[in-house]
Structure 1
Amino acid sequence: MITFDRTDQSVFGRWWWTVDRWQLVALAILMAMGTVLITAASPPVAERIGIDDTFYFVERHLLMLVPASIIMMSVSLLSPRGVARTAVVVYLVALALVAATLVVGVEIKGARRWIHIPGLSLQPSEFVKPAFAVVAAWLFSLSRTTPGFPGSFVSMVLYGGTVGLLLMQPDLGMAFVLSAVWFTQFFLAGLNVLLVVALGVLGVAGLVMAYFTFPHVTSRIDRFLDPQAGDTYQVSRSLEAFANGGLMGTGPGQGTVKFSLPDAHADFIFAVAGEELGLVACLLIVITFGFIVLRGFARVFNENNYFVILATAGLLVQFGLQSMINMGSSLHLMPTKGMTLPFISYGGSSLLALGFGMGMVLALTRKRFGPGD
């Protein structure tokens, strides 16, 4: 086991004694749980779509988990200034790629969200989410620390442009998460309350408009409110899985609903956990997500750096909201939305982007003893 003395002033020595090791453990637990659940859930999916290697998705997941972990650990070494600079670069590149998907993107289920690269299908919007949260926090903080700099206005322009591109794909779920993060930061920035209320009203109006504009949104909301309004096959199978699992589950690999659940390895992997591991394990997963979010907020509770507070809040809201949407959809507590369960669901771009996002959280919540730390 690698250990560092408290007097070790190397990069890794300083990192070890300043990073939140409890968060590291919690994230490692999610990664391990994800590997177990994908191993259980994905073979039936591979067989159903005609892939000869039944462990294809397991191998792909592990292959992406390694670089995601490396990205997370590498980014966690950065200073707050380094986090801001890295986020700006990633945001600009990812936003350009999102725009490119409208021209050269691959259309899947009526949406252009992916760019095919040899050996990888990349979804640029996944990287826009964490990068935008940090860029917006940086702009809001500059409004306070640099008199005359229109940081809040620039943030509004970037927000509008980013959401506009996401809706053109269309990807309403991603636009909703990004909006929730930005509105949270806008509120925490202490800006005009009337403007906050006005933007909130516009947000609600936008959701109503989306219902009447996007047929797939209309269908999902209608099916959520009235199961007889359309096909609810996946949600019905998901609820059946939770009912079968009961308190302690049927045992790893012993579930049966996954054989008829098309997205058992991705959007509905929480249902596989419910059937095979039971209610107790599902509650432990929920607690782990809650611990990561609350622990992160606790670490910046007494922080004096305005940028660190806003950036950490944005990243944690994004992480927690994505988790809630995935689990809530599986339990039919909200309309279904194709969104991964962080570090547990299968997904290449999502896994890499989560590694980047949580690496920034680990970097921003490190103990600092000076402006350069």
Structure 2
Amino acid sequence: MPAISRVDTSKVARWWRHVDRVTLSCVGILIALGYILMLAASPAVAVRIGASREMFILKQVIFLCIAGAIVLGVSSLSRTGIKRLALIGGLLALAATFMTLVHGIEIKGARRWIALPMMSVQPSEFLKPCFAVVTGWLLAERRERQIFGNVAFPGLLIAFAAFGLILLLLKSQPDIGMLSVITMVFMTQLFVDGLRLIFVGVGVGAMVGAFAGAYVVFPHVRSRVERFLHPNVGDHYQIDTALRAFGNGGLMGRGPGEGRVKDLLPDAHADFVFAVAGEEYGLLICLGIVCVFLVIVLRTLMKLMREDDPFVITSAAGLVTGFGLQAFVNMGSTLHLIPTKGMTLPFISYGGSSAMSVALTIGMVLALTRRRVSASPIAQRFDEHEQWNTALRTRRAS
């Protein structure tokens, strides 16, 4: 982007001066990697299902372009705009998640998707960022607002009620992986908000108990855990193939287009795209991908350490926790560090719902961590000058 004059007071100029350009650059890197790895992984998958070789590539290019636009658009919103977007988006996503139980597409025993003309949408993907921001808003209001005299606003109670409703919906689909991520996001936000350590311990114990209950109640959860703990039990074809791909790739990889894992795995373009990267581009590229995700997460957390707005701290901490967990779950399950879970690698794996929901997450993070205009006396004078010009134009028009 060309240099912007310091006296330029347009909205684009002010956005560019105050947005976190390092995080924005990392997002651009991930989108570029997503395109490159789709070129590598998707043609073989498309041919295997009898579709055109370019089908997944063309669709993913559209998804990534929309995702990029969402990042830029959402990152330009004010904090009030982010609150409104999260509230409206959260209600719509909640209603759509409920609709999956009635009119959803059933795949492998789970109803998580709604069929649209060009794609299938997983509404619960959009619950993550919206719920994180709404929870941060409620927790901040609990500290700052009072009702009925000296009675504090029941933000914590409302947040628990919303979480309970989401829990029931995701359990009914069922989607234990998404529920686990949202639970971790919620617990992180409560901890950042100042939850006492004794209650943190209670929450961790409850999560362990919930995982144990899922192991008993849901056969697919039990199967994945047993296959992870006991290598000789069950079918390990996908994990074994992915691990061989990393071994074949070595340090520098076999070269673009030379990988074989994409011809063997049905989800090479989605859940196992990290294995494609490891085989064709090697260990160095895989480490680079990990570093890009780490930069986004750590840079956001470091910016929050200098923040004094409880809403921004709690909301952004929840957003970046969900983003980091999603990346860890995908890469960790591909490397057999955790039980397998069908979760996409942000901006890199194929998927419209995933790309757009992650773009919404990062856009919200960039908007919340953007330096405020009022923090700079010069920028504040620019803003006052713009307001004066707007008022003058209004008077002339009238």
TM-score, normalising length: structure 1: 0.98
Q: Which moved more, 1:330-339 or 1:362-371?
A: 362-371
Which residue number corresponds to residue 242 of structure 1? 246
- 1:183 is paired with a residue whose SS is helix
Query: Which whole-Å CA distance do the structure 2 matches of 1:335 and 1:192 have between them?
Result: 31
Which residue number corresponds to residue 176 of structure 2? 172
CA RMSD of aligned residues (A): 1.3
- 2:269 is paired with a residue whose SS is coil
- 1:170 is paired with a residue whose SS is coil
Query: Which whole-Å CA distance do the structure 2 matches of 1:80 and 1:252 have between them?
Result: 43
- Amino acid of the structure 1 residue aligned with 2:10: S
Q: String of CA shifts for 1:165-216, please: whole Å, max 9, x gaps.
A: 0111000000000000000001111123333222221111100000001000
- Amino acid of the structure 2 residue aligned with 1:313: A
Which residue number corresponds to residue 116 of structure 2? 117
1:123 deviates by 0.6
1:155 deviates by 0.5
Give structure 2 stretches of 5+ with no counterpart. 147-151, 384-398
Of 233, 236, 250, the match for 1:229? 233
Matches within 5 A, 1:171-320: 171-320=175-324
Are positions 1:161 and 2:160 aligned together? Answer: no
Query: Which whole-Å CA distance do the structure 1 matches of 2:190 and 2:201 have between them?
Result: 11
Which residue number corresponds to residue 95 of structure 1? 94
- Amino acid of the structure 2 residue aligned with 1:269: V
Q: String of CA shifts for 1:287-315, please: whole Å, max 9, x gaps.
A: 01000101111122110111001111111
Are positions 1:322 and 2:321 aligned together? Answer: no
- Amino acid of the structure 2 residue aligned with 1:344: I
Query: Which whole-Å CA distance do the structure 1 matches of 2:283 and 2:200 have between them?
Result: 39
Which residue number corresponds to residue 32 of structure 2? 32
Which residue number corresponds to residue 76 of structure 1? 75
1:370 deviates by 2.9
- 1:339 is paired with a residue whose SS is coil
Query: Which whole-Å CA distance do the structure 1 matches of 2:311 and 2:176 have between them?
Result: 28
Which residue number corresponds to residue 145 of structure 1? 144
Query: Which whole-Å CA distance do the structure 1 matches of 2:260 and 2:304 have between them?
Result: 44
1:10 deviates by 1.3
Which residue number corresponds to residue 11 of structure 1? 11
Query: Which whole-Å CA distance do the structure 1 matches of 2:104 and 2:219 have between them?
Result: 21
| Bigger-Rg structure (1/2) | 2
- 1:114 is paired with a residue whose SS is strand
Query: Which whole-Å CA distance do the structure 2 matches of 1:185 and 1:233 have between them?
Result: 38
- Amino acid of the structure 1 residue aligned with 2:59: R
Query: Which whole-Å CA distance do the structure 2 matches of 1:219 and 1:143 have between them?
Result: 42
Which residue number corresponds to residue 21 of structure 2? 21
Query: Which whole-Å CA distance do the structure 2 matches of 1:167 and 1:11 have between them?
Result: 43
Query: Which whole-Å CA distance do the structure 2 matches of 1:36 and 1:119 have between them?
Result: 22
- 1:115 is paired with a residue whose SS is strand
Which residue number corresponds to residue 336 of structure 1? 340
Query: Which whole-Å CA distance do the structure 2 matches of 1:192 and 1:243 have between them?
Result: 45
- Amino acid of the structure 1 residue aligned with 2:87: V
Which residue number corresponds to residue 54 of structure 1? 53
Query: Which whole-Å CA distance do the structure 2 matches of 1:154 and 1:201 have between them?
Result: 22
- 2:111 is paired with a residue whose SS is strand
Query: Which whole-Å CA distance do the structure 2 matches of 1:300 and 1:79 have between them?
Result: 17
1:5 deviates by 1.3
- Amino acid of the structure 2 residue aligned with 1:179: T
Q: Which moved more, 1:97-106 or 1:139-148?
A: 139-148
Give structure 1 stretches of 5+ with no counterpart. none
Query: Which whole-Å CA distance do the structure 2 matches of 1:198 and 1:88 have between them?
Result: 29
Query: Which whole-Å CA distance do the structure 2 matches of 1:171 and 1:262 have between them?
Result: 21
- 1:89 is paired with a residue whose SS is helix
TM-score, normalising length: structure 2: 0.92
- 2:341 is paired with a residue whose SS is coil
Which residue number corresponds to residue 105 of structure 1? 104
Q: String of CA shifts for 1:350-371, please: whole Å, max 9, x gaps.
A: 1011111100011011111439
Query: Which whole-Å CA distance do the structure 2 matches of 1:63 and 1:36 have between them?
Result: 14
- 2:204 is paired with a residue whose SS is helix
Query: Which whole-Å CA distance do the structure 1 matches of 2:199 and 2:331 have between them?
Result: 32
Are positions 1:132 and 2:136 aligned together? Answer: no
Q: Which moved more, 1:142-151 or 1:324-333?
A: 142-151
Query: Which whole-Å CA distance do the structure 2 matches of 1:350 and 1:257 have between them?
Result: 23
- Matched pairs, number: 372
- 2:50 is paired with a residue whose SS is coil
Identity of aligned residues (%): 51
